[in-house]
Every structure is written in C-alpha cells, then in structure tokens.
Amino acid sequence: MSIMVKVEEKLYQNRYIVDENHPHIRIKSEAECKTCETQACTFCCPAACYSKNEAGTVTLATDGCLECGTCRVICQDKENIQWDYPRGGYGISYKFG
C-alpha cells in the first residue's frame, strides 16, 4: 500500500515567525540576476521564495524559508546571495504531522 503525501501539506505543518524588515537572505545585485542564465533559485528553492519578475530579475521573499541553504549553493558561481540564519526567535519551527 502506498500513501501519497504532498510536499505543500507537509510544509504547512511548520510555523514561521517573520522578522519584519530584517530578511536573513538578501540578493546582492539585481543586475547580476538579469544576466544569470539559469536563474536556478527560482525552481530549486523548496519553499518557492524566489520568483522571476517582469523586470527580468528575481524577487525574493524569505517568509517560509526552510533554512536549507540550497539557494546559497546554487548561486555559488555568481556569489550573489548574502545568506545568514534568522535572528534568535525568528524563522522556521519544524513540526511533525
């Protein structure tokens, strides 16, 4: 017997406390994103924090970030992401269920 579980349903079990005006991840240069051939962050982030925008660059919303570090690794060639953990008391709290 197999049980299908959607990723979105599992992510919904987590809780996230937003640190208003203190995003823990920052894109250094939008111009750099415009020249980025793959813009891989827009499809590799499991929480869909990055999205392509009409200006041809990338918009980042760190709400819901899982702190997995994938974007940091993916952008290593360009070194265009400033990545830190959230301040104490903010960010993701994992739950099971």
Residues that bind ligand SF4 (CB under 6 A): 25, 27, 32-33, 36, 39-41, 45-47, 49, 58, 65-71, 74-75, 78, 80-81
Q: Would you tell me how many other CB atoms lie within 10 Å of the CB of residue 11?
A: 15
Considering beta carbons, is residue 23 or 96 the nearer one to ligand SF4? 23
| Shortest CB 47 distance to ligand SF4, Å | 4
Considering beta carbons, is residue 46 or 55 the nearer one to ligand SF4? 46
| Shortest CB 2 distance to ligand SF4, Å | 27
| Shortest CB 6 distance to ligand SF4, Å | 17
Amino acid 20 reads E
Report CA-CA distances (Å) from 1 to 4, 9, 65: 10, 20, 33
Q: Exposed, middle or buried, 49 (CB in 10 Å: 0-12/13-18/19+)? A: buried
Considering beta carbons, is residue 1 or 13 the nearer one to ligand SF4? 13
* SS3 at position 40: coil
